[in-house]
Structure 1
């Protein structure tokens, strides 16, 4: 693998991180969001500093041959810890338990990082090796312990990730399960990376030469594993956000029939809140619901329970369930009230003087009423019965 093979994944991690920065600035106390950002930073750093051109540059800047080796190994170890911490925060549970578990993993992998630095300082690696450091120094005192430490730490994290994510995937559904299965696939590739590295190093210990496993096979495995795992981490978050956005816009659109129905009774010249084109869908839904409730208040004197009760009985007789029948009944009363208000703007309402307000328990009820206004034949019949003469 050449420099671009490392830098392209690093850029991809950087772009993902930039996309997360606005959310981090707003919710920087969110441990899950912080864990995602730390993982992206470390993943990008691993790819950047593991690239042969960067290795050569860092060695040249510091004047220490092979100083990039403990740097890259430390970043990989920190990345392994960040993956575990992310999964613990993502899976959820008691906050104190998550915090204690995360701290234990961070402390354990910090000890490994310190060991890597100390062992490199104690060892002797005078010949710069850009691609085959592991196998070239596999039998060098202290250096071989450093290599074994980072490989074992990485392998332990990979095995833990595969185990946790697989067990978790069996208990969930939807995009989360898909993401977890992808993460398991990515870390399975990481197991192949560990196997290639360990086999090459062990072969050196036994006097054999399997260097090609470490030099040529392991790097593309590491790159593929990181990219696949990143997709697994990002996919559920992105798809959940897209799904939530789609649901919100769908709610806004489905409220349109009810909003237009009650908005037609607004007095001419009444103030109208105009939303900018970049306004979030959630704000638009809230504004539309508010306009609908304001319309209900205006129509209060024109609501007639007789229309509601009749429509409810007919809907139930036609086989509608309880929620649908209530929505049809409310929609019929709203439609009749709109026509009554248009025919007699100064009228006092129903003959018996009863005032009835539609009680809608949140946007779901309003959506049902809006749907009934548009599609229910019972509501259409009420419209025809209450239409003004010649109208």
Structure 2
């Protein structure tokens, strides 16, 4: 496999990191999002470091033949441990048991990284090998142990992470399950990478030359595994964010008729902070909901309980469920109050029994009232009658 086999996954993972970076900037205290971004960046770094030009550059700049080997092994081991820690936290939250398991992973994989570098210093790897370091030094004291240690640590992380994700995926649904399945597939490919590497090294111990398993068969498995694992971590977060954005957009749009009615009738409600043209949809929704509440307060002197009771009775007679009839009645009262305000602006005290009745201000009810203002013949008729009566 050429160097593109390393550069392309590195670029894909770094692109995924850049896509999530704005969300991390907006949510700096989101531990899970920060951990996922860190893993994407680390995975990209692993592939970048494992590319032959990078390996050669590290060796050349440092002046130490094969220094890139412990560097790549250390970063790959750190990435394996970090993935395992993230899965533990993602699955178990912040309980004391989760914290203990996470600390244990950090200690174990931190110890492995120290051991890898110690073994490299103790061994003799004076001949630079850019592509076949694992098999070339498979029989060299200390370097042999370093190679086996990093492969076993990587294998252990793959087995445990895949098992945890598979067990978890059987208990959840939707995007989370899809993400977990992607992670499982990615780690199964990683196990194939580790297996082929170990077989190639073991073949050297038996005086056989199966180096092609290490140099040609294993790297494509890693190149396929990394985007799957990264995608598995990102997918639930992306779909969750898209879902929130879609629901926010739908809610904002559906509140439009009610916001327009109250803004026209009550002069836009109480004054508030002006938002710029680049404000987020979430901020616009908050501002719209606040304006609706202010508008309802401004229209209180115009609320007519008789209008509400009449529409409620008619809605029930037409077969509407009681909760829906209540929504239609509240919407009709608001529509009639808006027309009354147009005919008699400046009223400060209610007439009749308007002071004893108020529309629901629950968030979901406001959306349903807004829809009713646009679609319900009962609500529209109440508004027309208020206009004709000059209320």
Q: What pairs with 1:174-323 in structure 2 (closer than 5 Å)?
A: 174-267=174-267, 274-323=274-323
For 1:298 and 1:172, the matched residues in 2 are separated by 47
Go from structure 1 to structure 2 and tell me whether the alpha carbon gap of 1:283 and 1:152 turns closer, same or farther (over 3 Å shift).
Answer: same
Go from structure 1 to structure 2 and tell me whether the alpha carbon gap of 1:227 and 1:357 turns closer, same or farther (over 3 Å shift).
Answer: same
Q: Does 1:148 align with 2:136?
A: no
What SS is found at the alignment partner of 1:264? helix
Task: State the Cα distance separating 1:385 from its structure 2 match.
Answer: 2.7
Q: Which residue of 1 aligns with 2:357?
A: 356
Go from structure 1 to structure 2 and tell me whether the alpha carbon gap of 1:142 and 1:16 turns closer, same or farther (over 3 Å shift).
Answer: same
Aligned residues: 390
Q: Which residue of 1 aligns with 2:388?
A: 388
Task: State the Cα distance separating 1:149 from its structure 2 match.
Answer: 0.6
Task: State the Cα distance separating 1:152 from its structure 2 match.
Answer: 0.7
Preserved CA contact (<8 Å) 1:297 1:357:
no
TM-superposition CA deviations, 1:156-205 (whole Å, max 9, x none): 10111111111111222221111111111111111111121122112222
Preserved CA contact (<8 Å) 1:46 1:76:
yes
Preserved CA contact (<8 Å) 1:190 1:225:
yes
Task: State the Cα distance separating 1:2 from its structure 2 match.
Answer: 2.7
Go from structure 1 to structure 2 and tell me whether the alpha carbon gap of 1:320 and 1:210 turns closer, same or farther (over 3 Å shift).
Answer: farther
Q: Which residue of 1 aligns with 2:116?
A: 116
Task: State the Cα distance separating 1:22 from its structure 2 match.
Answer: 5.1
TM-superposition CA deviations, 1:301-350 (whole Å, max 9, x none): 11112222232233334333343222111101111211222233355544
Go from structure 1 to structure 2 and tell me whether the alpha carbon gap of 1:26 and 1:337 turns closer, same or farther (over 3 Å shift).
Answer: closer
RMSD of aligned alpha carbons: 2.4
Task: State the Cα distance separating 1:208 from its structure 2 match.
Answer: 2.3
TM-superposition CA deviations, 1:5-55 (whole Å, max 9, x none): 322322333344344455555655543233223312321221111111111
Q: Which moved more, 1:309-318 or 1:267-276?
A: 267-276
For 1:346 and 1:53, the matched residues in 2 are separated by 77
Preserved CA contact (<8 Å) 1:81 1:109:
yes
Preserved CA contact (<8 Å) 1:343 1:388:
no
What SS is found at the alignment partner of 2:388? coil
Go from structure 1 to structure 2 and tell me whether the alpha carbon gap of 1:193 and 1:321 turns closer, same or farther (over 3 Å shift).
Answer: farther
Q: Which moved more, 1:58-67 or 1:220-229?
A: 58-67
Q: Which moved more, 1:322-331 or 1:74-83?
A: 322-331
For 2:268 and 2:117, the matched residues in 1 are separated by 76
For 1:40 and 1:59, the matched residues in 2 are separated by 25
Q: Which residue of 1 aligns with 2:37?
A: 37
For 1:70 and 1:318, the matched residues in 2 are separated by 78
Go from structure 1 to structure 2 and tell me whether the alpha carbon gap of 1:81 and 1:58 turns closer, same or farther (over 3 Å shift).
Answer: same
For 2:308 and 2:52, the matched residues in 1 are separated by 76
- TM-score with structure 2 setting the length: 0.92
What SS is found at the alignment partner of 2:266? coil
For 2:361 and 2:136, the matched residues in 1 are separated by 73
TM-superposition CA deviations, 1:244-264 (whole Å, max 9, x none): 111111111100011111112
Preserved CA contact (<8 Å) 2:263 2:269:
no
For 1:45 and 1:269, the matched residues in 2 are separated by 53
Q: Which runs of 5+ in 1 are unaligned?
A: none
For 1:28 and 1:272, the matched residues in 2 are separated by 27
Task: State the Cα distance separating 1:355 from its structure 2 match.
Answer: 4.3
TM-superposition CA deviations, 1:125-162 (whole Å, max 9, x none): 22211111111111222222111111111011011111
